[in-house]
Amino acid sequence: MKIQTNLVGGVIFVIFSLILFLLQPSQIIVSNNIAFLESAKVAPIMSFLVMFFGGCFLIFQSLVLKKEKEIFVNFEEQKHAIYMAASMVLYAAAIYFLGYLIASAALIVLLFKFYHNNNKIYLTIVLTIAILVYFLFTRIFNVSLPGIG
């Protein structure tokens, strides 16, 4: 499959920046008496603007300046990358429904199986790190994570 890099990249950046910009008010809540430049919204909005205008520039470069590079993508060669992207999307959904610990353990086990890694010591180490991260956030940082606790 042939892909025009500037056009496709620009469209993805514009769409992604607009989605993030629309989601931002529900994710970052600040009180009304804080000046905008002092609030927590400045850095995300700046990054959304850079993404949006960068995407618009790529689209302009592709359509008006005719500077385009076409690449050929063989999806059979990209199956590991596609599997990882799908795993991350499922992981995000699983965290919401199952909680951090269960979703993380399931993802770790599935990735170990997918990459044919049967080393029990490595699996134990990675699972232990996931548990330690959970306790670090919940007990030391006092940040509630989804799930048990």
pLDDT tops 80 at residue 106: yes
Residue 39 gets which letter from DSSP?
A: S
Helix (H) or strand (E) holding 60: helix 42-63
Vertex 76 angle, CA 73 and 79, to 5°: 100
Assign 149 a pLDDT band (cuts: 50, 70, 90). Answer: very low
Let me know: does 33 contact 21? Beta carbons within 8 Å. no
Reply yes or no on whether the pLDDT at 23 is more than 90.
no
What does the pLDDT read at residue 37?
64
CB 141 within 8 A of CB 135: no
Which pLDDT score, from 0 to 100, does residue 24 have? 83
Contact 84/35 with Cβ under 8 angstroms?
no
Would the pLDDT of 62 be above 80?
A: yes
Q: What is the pLDDT of residue 36?
A: 64
Output phi, psi for 65, to 5 deg. Answer: -85, -10
pLDDT at residue 39 is higher than 80: no
pLDDT of residue 65: 84
- What's the mean per-residue pLDDT of the chain? 88
Structure tokens at 8: 């496709």
> What does the pLDDT read at residue 131?
94
Residue with the bigger pLDDT between 147 and 108: it is: 108
What's the pLDDT at 139? 92
Cβ within 8 Å of residue 109, ≥6 positions away: 123
Cα–Cα distance, 134 to 104 (Å, whole number): 10
